[in-house]
Structure 1
Amino acid sequence: MAEIIEDFLVKRDKGYYCAYGDFYVDPLYPVQRAVVSHAHGDHASPGHREIYCTKATSAFMQVRYPKQPLQSYHVFDFEEGFNINGVEIVFIPAGHILGSAQILMVYKGIKYLYTGDYKLQEDPTCEPIKIIEADVLITETTFADPNVKHPDPKGEILKLDVPSNIMLGCYSLGKAQRITALMNLYLPDREILVHHSMLPLHRIYDSYANFPMKYALYNRKSMKGDEKNKVYLVPPLTFNSYRRAKNVVRVFASGWARLQASNDISLYLSDHVDWEDILTFVKAVKPKAIWTLHGDGRQLHAHLSENLIIRDIFEQTYRPDYC
């Protein structure tokens, strides 16, 4: 029976590298072959010769990186298998944002499951996560802390039921669309205005998702009327540049407590798994080993080490011959 290859996926300067298939997973710098889990900037970057991703991820990347040649994209449906140099690869829905995928890599009979970013909470704007079994679980640990419990999204959104216009800072891809949908659902009288940089991303969601969103493009006159029912969604840099904005309630959507301190209302809305979600996920995947990345995995290591082989993903010094 085949054994787990301990260096099947390793961390390098350019990203996570699989020497057995000669490709990178979510590389940050240009490489020959990039397998991309989703379109957030810390996972999807331009300049690669070949990009393997889902259809929605390709659509977002084309908007964000217009100079990337269209012929470089190799686009696949969820659960449509493909092969790179002997490694079988399948994209599995991750539930993080629209098009986000776990990356299942099968080599010599062993299943290596890279989660990318993922969440278990319901989200009408993206594909729900699908949980499969694997021999090795390669999981993010962004919120791998027993003290972190993501609150119910409905309760958080209802905090915005205040008699004032709101300036709401959020990430342009994923978070902005989820907030739009949640407010449409739970606060339907609120008028959602989106920053111009978010508009093309909202429109991609409109073309892929099954949840119709109601929103409009912001203009200077939008928030000057007598009605105090408007919510203006802006990206983080714009939000920070308007620290002294008047006649609005300031809110920033994030799972991080440090980003809530100076705001008028705290809005804890995360698109990642919390501690209990990770444990639920591990139990369902039934891995023989766990490799952790994207965060501090020490508390998870301590919690699971008696029953599982668990460690950080190996780091390997970058060598140009593998570029």
Structure 2
Amino acid sequence: MSAAHQSNPDRPHPDRPHPDRWIKVRPEGLYVEPGGFYIDPVRPVERAVVTHGHSDHARPGNRHVLATPGTLAIMRQRMGAGVGGSLQPLEYGEGLNIGGVAVRLVPAGHVLGSAQVVLEHAGSRVVVSGDYKRRPDRTCAPFEPVPCDVFVTEATFGLPVFRHPPDLGEVGKLLHSMALFPERSHVVGVYALGKCQRLITLLRAAGYDRPIWLHGALEPLCRLYGEWGVELGELRPATVAAKEDLKGALVLAPPAAVADRWARRLADPVVAVASGWMRVRQRARQRGVELPLVISDHADWDELCRTLEDVGAPEVWVTHGREEALVHYATSRGIRARALALIGFEDEDLEGGPEKAGEGEAP
């Protein structure tokens, strides 16, 4: 057993109620019973705490919504009037008591505004991670490990085969291809929220200062990121551009658009997709991807394992993804672990999922 999981005086006393007595899995999602609220509910509820703006976590129709200001801005932009009833912002690190449960939000490093939910009740601390990554990202606040008694984690890439390569190396592959084929357009499939803006900032960090052309579905959230201080450089609308203007250009589009009629306006395009799933070559071939870019907004296997060590929780609950492997790893480290098997959360870039048209998640 690692030192992080040895006896800890801050752990709940045996006479205090275990967190599974006051946090329940219901059809609507993860329910915090004494506070009367759900975290990332998959159905409309009275009170919701939302970790981030991707559409499998932030859904319309809740009567009361608590989230970071960044997440609420994203929800307003994407859902309009359907965003919900009352919207309550909570800044990172601020505390709030809801029905005897102390609640605060800390950065998750996933996308703009993404948060982990820290819950303290009856002598125990539970951290619900939402989706997260551990790599530097200029578009959002970095993940903050919080020591806790129970850590509730995703496991989208919870298999040892998923070890994401360095981000700038993948961007270098794209820039190298553009240099090799200067007469061809390069179209990269990215999701509207998070991946699009992150890829742009990675390109800028690598020295690419030319205009980047955007499919119309990507423009609104890029504008919002700009309003929140994320510098993206010169962006141009690709939807109304002449074919000649796009010759040799870099174009970003939702993954579904790179294979449909929309892409025919491009000059002999090199088709790329930026996703953690591009590690699976068969998936890339099935989608007709010539240039797979392994860039993800989720933690890979090593990062998931490191996070369990960093938070030092003696117990781990896995919400969605490849639960079995992470549960097995945690158990081998002396950590109690179980899968919650929550429904309604999609894997990154899952074909046919809610993000298919580019309106939602994307790793």
| TM-score (structure 2 length as normaliser) | 0.82
What's the counterpart of residue 41 of structure 1?
55
Shift in Å, 1:213: 3.5
1:275 corresponds to 2:294? no
1:235 corresponds to 2:257? no
What's the counterpart of residue 265 of structure 1?
291
Bigger shift: residues 216-225 or 274-283: 216-225
Count of aligned positions: 315
Give yes or no for contact 1:181–1:211 (8 Å, CA) kept in 2.
yes
RMSD: 2.1
Paired residue for 2:315, among 289, 298, 304? 289
3-state SS of paired residue (1:117): coil
Give yes or no for contact 2:65–2:87 (8 Å, CA) kept in 1.
yes
What's the counterpart of residue 269 of structure 2?
248
Judged with a 3 Å threshold, the aligned counterparts in structure 2 of structure 1 residues 99 and 222 are, in CA distance, closer, same or farther, namely farther
Shift in Å, 1:302: 1.6
Q: Within 5 A, what are the aligned runs for 1:27-176?
A: 27-68=41-82, 72-161=86-175, 162=178, 163=182, 164-176=184-196
Q: Within 1, Cα distance between the matches of 2:234 and 2:317?
A: 41
Code of the aligned partner of 2:273: F
3-state SS of paired residue (2:193): coil
What's the counterpart of residue 203 of structure 1?
223
Judged with a 3 Å threshold, the aligned counterparts in structure 2 of structure 1 residues 61 and 108 are, in CA distance, closer, same or farther, namely same
Q: Report % sequence identity.
A: 32
Code of the aligned partner of 2:40: D
What's the counterpart of residue 352 of structure 2?
none
3-state SS of paired residue (1:157): helix
Q: Within 2, Cα distance between the matches of 1:240 and 1:28?
A: 30
Shift in Å, 1:201: 0.7
Bigger shift: residues 122-131 or 10-19: 10-19
Q: Within 1, Cα distance between the matches of 2:247 and 2:124?
A: 59
Q: Can you give the 5+ residue segments of structure 1 that lack an aligned partner in the other structure?
A: 317-323
Shift in Å, 1:7: 4.2
Shift in Å, 1:95: 0.2
Q: Can you give the 5+ residue segments of structure 2 that lack an aligned partner in the other structure?
A: 1-12, 344-363
Give yes or no for contact 1:291–1:313 (8 Å, CA) kept in 2.
yes
Q: Within 2, Cα distance between the matches of 1:69 and 1:140?
A: 24
Shift in Å, 1:108: 1.2
Residue-by-residue CA offset, 1:74-122 (whole Å, 9 max, x unaligned): 0111011112211111110000001000111111121100000000011
Shift in Å, 1:303: 1.8
Shift in Å, 1:147: 1.4
Residue-by-residue CA offset, 1:237-277 (whole Å, 9 max, x unaligned): 32232487351111111101254222110111100001110
Shift in Å, 1:35: 0.4
Paired residue for 2:338, among 289, 303, 311? 311
Residue-by-residue CA offset, 1:7-39 (whole Å, 9 max, x unaligned): 433332222212221111101211000100000
Q: Within 1, Cα distance between the matches of 2:258 and 2:271?
A: 9
3-state SS of paired residue (1:160): helix
| TM-score (structure 1 length as normaliser) | 0.91
1:16 corresponds to 2:16? no
Bigger shift: residues 27-36 or 239-248: 239-248
Code of the aligned partner of 1:104: V
Paired residue for 1:194, among 207, 214, 233? 214
